[in-house]
Structure 1
Amino acid sequence: MRLPILAFSLLAVALAAGVPPVYGQQVKRPNIVVMLADDMGYGELQCLNPTRGKIATPRLDAIAQSGMIFTDAHSGSSVCTPTRYGLMTGRYAWRTRLQSGVLTGGESLIAKDRMTVAKLLKQQGYYTGIVGKWHLGMLFDGKTQSGDVPVGAKVTHGPIDRGGFDEFHGFHHARQIELWIDHDEVTENISSVDMLPRLTEAAVNFVHQRAKADRPFFLYVPWSSPHSPVVPTQKWKGKSGLNEHADFVMQTDDSFGQVVDALRESGQLENTLIICSSDNGTSAPTSKMDQLKQKGHFPSGELRGSKADIWDGGHRVPFLVSWPQVVPAGSRTDALVCLTDVIATIADIVDETLPEGAAEDSVSFLPVLRQPSHAGRDSVVHHSVSGYFAIRQGDWKLSLCPGSGGWTHPKPTQKNYKKQTEAGKPLVQLINLKTDRGEAENRASQDPKKVRELRRLLQQQVDRGRSTPGPSTNNDAKITIDKRPRK
C-alpha cells in the first residue's frame, strides 16, 4: 500500500526522534490553497531577484522562507486563459480549440467531462472554492456577452458547472472586472479599484469559515492583479517609489499574506499545502516596463522577454510551496516544473489515481517536495500568445521562431522573417540555458543535430496527445508546430 505524503512525513519524523511509528492510524488530509497572481513576472519578487528587483514583497518572501522556492517553474503559456486551463486540467491548452490568444467570453474551454483539480478533490471529500478571476469562458443567461451584463444574470460554463467547484466569488476577466459574481449569478457592479480588496476579503472569509468544518478544503485564488487595469488603492499608491504597477505588486503581495494570516489565525496553517505562483510574466505595456528598468527594477530579472513571449521572461514564473508539516523551511530547488503539474501532484498527495483520459501533461512534483535535488519533469512545452512553440529538455531549449513569438521586438512579422531569411539566419532558436539564461546566443546553426532531436520530441508529444506515459489520445484540433506570420 502506498503511504500518503503526510503519513510518510510523520513516519520520518517519528523515526528521527526515535519514536516507534504507529501504523494504521488515520492521518488528517491537508487543506490545499493555490494562489495565482495575474501578470507578475519572475523578477517581481525580492526572493527571486534580490539584485535587480526594487519592489518590496515581504509577504511572498516570508512564504518562500517558510517552504520551498522553485527556480525553474513555468506556466503552460505566456498568457492568461491557456495557463489557467493547464492549471485546472493538467493538459496543455494548445491541445484545445484555443491555438493562440485568450478567451473573452463564450463557451468554456473546459469540456463538460474533463477532469479538473476541483472535481478530483470533491471525489475525495474536499469542499472546493474559487475566489478570483476565472477567464476560461462564461455564458450569461445562456449567451456570450462581452460588455455590460445585468445584475441577476445566470452564469453557465463557469467555475461551478465546468470547473466543478462548490463555491465561486469573483469575476470572469479583466474587461468585465466590474462584474461581481457569487456562485452562478451576477450579484453586483463594483469599481475596478475595489476588486482586489473584495477578493482578499472573500478569500480570508472562506478560510475562517472552513475552520469550523470537518472536511478538508481546496481554495483556488486567481488574483485580479497586478494585471490591468492597474488600480492600487489609495493606501498603496506611492508605496513603491517606482510607479503604480509596482504599487499594485506590493498590494498583491499583501493579499497573499492576508490569506496566510487567516490560515494561521484559524489554526489551519500547519496542515495546509500552499502554492503561490503567477499565470505568466509581467506585461511590458501596462507595467511601463521601460520606466521600471530605468529606475533599476527588472520585472523579468535576468530573463529575456515578458508576458506573451516565447522567451523565458514570458513563462518562467514565481513558484513557492509551503507546507509546514512536510516541506523543509528555507529549501530551494532547480527542478523543472510546470503549472500543469499541480493536478498530478495533488492526486499523489491524496493517494488518488488519475483516470487515463485526464491530466495528459501533468507530472507530480511530490518527489521534489520530498527531496529538493530531484530533477523534476524531463521536458516541458512552451507556447506564446501568437501560438509559437518551444520545447525545453534539460539545459536545452528550442523555440520554433526567430524572435519573441509575442509582443517584444523582434515580433513575429513577415517583414522580420524575410530579414532573417535574407541574412541567412535560422528561423529557430537553440539556447543552452545553463550558460545563456538571457537567451542571447542562438546555437541552431552550430548544432543542427540538437535542433532535429528537440523538434522530433515536440512532434512526438503533439502527435501522442499527451507528454506523459499512457495510451495515446486525440487533441481537440489540428496542431501546426511550424508556424509563419500572416502579416
Structure 2
Amino acid sequence: MKCLLLAFSMLATVAAHAADKPNIIYILADDLGYGDVQVLNPEHGKIPTPGMDRLAAEGMVFTDAHTSSSVCTPTRYGVLTGRYNWRSRLQSGVLFGFDQPLIAPDRLTVPALLKAQGYKTAMIGKWHLGLGIRKPNGTPTRGKAAPVDGVDWSARIEGGPVDLGFDSWYGIAASLDMPPYIWIENDRFVGECTTVKAFHRKGPAHADFEAIDVLDAIGHKSAEFIAQQNAEEAFFMYVPLTSPHAPIIPSEKWQGKSELGIYGDFVMHTDAIVAQITEAVDAAGLAENTIIIVTSDNGCSKVADIPALKAQGHYPNAHFRGSKSDIWDGGHRVPFIVRWPAAVKAGSSSDAIICLTDLMATAADLTGAELPVNAGEDSVSFAPALKGEPIISDRAGIVHHSVSGQFAYRSGKWKILLTQASGGWTKEKMAIKAPAQLYDMEADPSEQNNLYHSHPEVFERLLAQLETDVARGRSTAGPDQKNDTDRINLKRGMKR
C-alpha cells in the first residue's frame, strides 16, 4: 500500500511539474510579409486577417522581430538550432527537396531540448532542411530533381525531424514548388511516387498528391494533435506552413475573398489556418498556459506581384524597403505575435529587437533548462519581454543574411549592410555611391538615407563587432566555438 501511495505521489509530482511548463506552438508562415497582417499595417494592410489580429489583441506584438536570413532554409536552421546558418555549410541560397540534411546529427535542437524537459514534441508541415533520401543503390540523392525510379521510396529517411528531437512528423520535404511531391510520416514516405507533376518545378509525385490540398491538411492535422493533448503533459508543436509561398493556390473556399487577387486570397487562407489552430487550443481548454507564436521565415516575395498589390493600396512589407531575398528590412523584418494568457498582457507590444534564432534560449529560459556551451550560440531569451521587462543580453547585435550570402548587422538604432545594393533580387539604383550602407533605423526605418560617408566611425565600430561575432563562433556569452566552415566571406558585396 505504501508503494502504491508513493507511486501516486510521484505521478502527481510529475504531472504538477509538467503543468507548470507552458505548451508552445510555433507557427511559421512561409513568405508572409510584415504588412500582410492587417493589425500591423492598419493604413496599408488591405487583406483581412482576423485570426492573427485576434492573437495580437489577446497577446503581444513584437514590432522589431527579424529572421536570420531573408530566405527559407537558413531561417529554419536558425529557428531550430539557435545558430546562424552561415556558421554551417550553407553560405547562400536554399536547399532543395532531394538535398541531404543541413542540421548535424549531434547538434541540439529546440525539440530535443524540450523533449529532455518532459515535453511531447510534434512537427506538422514543411521541413526544407534536407533529408537523408536514398537512391535505389543506397547512395544519397541531391539537388532539385530526381527521376521517379531514381529514389528508394521504401527506405527509411534519415536526418529528418524524428532524428532531431521530434516525436512525430507529418509533412513534406521542402516547398510546394520543389519535388518530391509526396507526404512523409515520421521517417517514411506515405506510399511512393509513380508519376511526375509540376507545381512550378517538375518532379516525382504521388498520384494522389495535390498542392492545393496541403495547407488545409496541415491545419486539420494540427487541430487533431491539439485535441488529443491534456494539461498533464506539456507539448511543443512546430507548424511550418506552406503559404503564402508559391505556388499561390488558395483553396476554392478562399478564392476571390480578398478582392485583391490570388495572393490576398492565399493570405486569408493562411490566416484561417492560424485561427483553426487557435480555436483548437481554446476548445481543448489549454489556452491559459499555451504560448502561441505566429511569425514568418522572411518577407513577402516578388512572386506575389508586389507592384500590383501596392497599386490596390496593400503594402505587403509595410513601409520597409525590399522584399524576400534582400538584406533591407523588407526581406527579414517579420510579423511576430505571441499569445500566452497566463503571462502576457493582452493588447501589449514590444519594440525589443529580437531574432528567430531566439526560440532556443527562450525555451530553455521558460523551462529552467541550461543550454550546453556548444548550443544556441546565437540565441537570446525574449521571455523577459513577454512580461514587459527588458531583455538582458550581452549580444551586441543581430546578423542578417541575404540569398546571395551578403551580410548586414543591426545594433541598437544602427544597421550596416556590407553590400552596395539589396544583396538579393531587388534591383534599385542607389541614391549615393558608396561601398556599403549605414542607416539610422529609428529616424529612417525605410532605409533611404545612407549615412556611410557621414558616420564612418559608426560603420567601422559595427563592422568590428560583426567580425568578432563571426570569428568567435557565437554572438552570445560563453566559450568560443568553431564555425563549420572557414569559407565565410563577410565582404563579398563590398568594393572598398
> Hey, what does 1:306 align to over in structure 2?
323
> Hey, what does 1:184 align to over in structure 2?
187
TM-score by length of 1: 0.89
Paired amino acid for 1:160: V
Among 108, 111, 125, which residue is 1:115 paired with? 108
SS of 1:275's partner is strand
Matches of 1:242 and 1:248, distance apart in 2: 10
Q: Deviations over 1:226-271 (max 9, x none)?
A: 0011110000001110111111010000001101111110111111
Q: Which runs of 5+ in 2 are unaligned?
A: 1-15, 192-205
Q: Which runs of 5+ in 1 are unaligned?
A: 1-24, 411-415
Matches of 1:241 and 1:297, distance apart in 2: 11
> Hey, what does 2:195 align to over in structure 1?
none
Q: Deviations over 1:103-141 (max 9, x none)?
A: 113221111110000100110111100000001011223
Is structure 2 residue 40 aligned with structure 1 residue 37? no
Q: Aligned residues: percent identity?
A: 48
Matches of 1:227 and 1:241, distance apart in 2: 19
Does the 8 A contact of 1:177 with 1:192 survive in 2?
no
Give runs of aligned pairs for residues 316-465 of structure 1, distance below 5 A: 316-371=333-388, 374=391, 378-410=396-428, 425-465=433-473
Paired amino acid for 1:210: Q
State the Cα distance separating 1:209 from its structure 2 match.
Answer: 1.4
SS of 2:61's partner is strand
Matches of 1:150 and 1:64, distance apart in 2: 45
Give runs of aligned pairs for residues 188-337 of structure 1, distance below 5 A: 188=191, 189=206, 190-211=209-230, 214-284=232-302, 286-337=303-354
Matches of 1:86 and 1:100, distance apart in 2: 14
SS of 2:161's partner is coil
Aligned length: 449
SS of 2:79's partner is helix
> Hey, what does 2:165 align to over in structure 1?
164
Paired amino acid for 1:318: P
Paired amino acid for 1:176: P
Matches of 1:352 and 1:434, distance apart in 2: 35
SS of 2:40's partner is coil
Change (3 A) 1:366 1:384: same
Does the 8 A contact of 2:420 with 2:494 survive in 1?
no
Does the 8 A contact of 2:319 with 2:446 survive in 1?
yes
Runs of 4 or more consecutive aligned structure 1 residues displaced over 6 Å after TM superposition: none
- Using the TM superposition, name which of 144-153 and 426-435 deviates more: 144-153
TM-score by length of 2: 0.87
Paired amino acid for 2:109: T
Paired amino acid for 1:201: H
Matches of 2:392 and 2:452, distance apart in 1: 25
Q: Deviations over 1:9-66 (max 9, x none)?
A: xxxxxxxxxxxxxxxx856211111000000011100111110111100000101111
Matches of 2:51 and 2:392, distance apart in 1: 28
> Hey, what does 2:43 align to over in structure 1?
51
Paired amino acid for 2:127: W
State the Cα distance separating 1:378 from its structure 2 match.
Answer: 4.2
State the Cα distance separating 1:290 from its structure 2 match.
Answer: 1.1
Matches of 2:20 and 2:382, distance apart in 1: 21
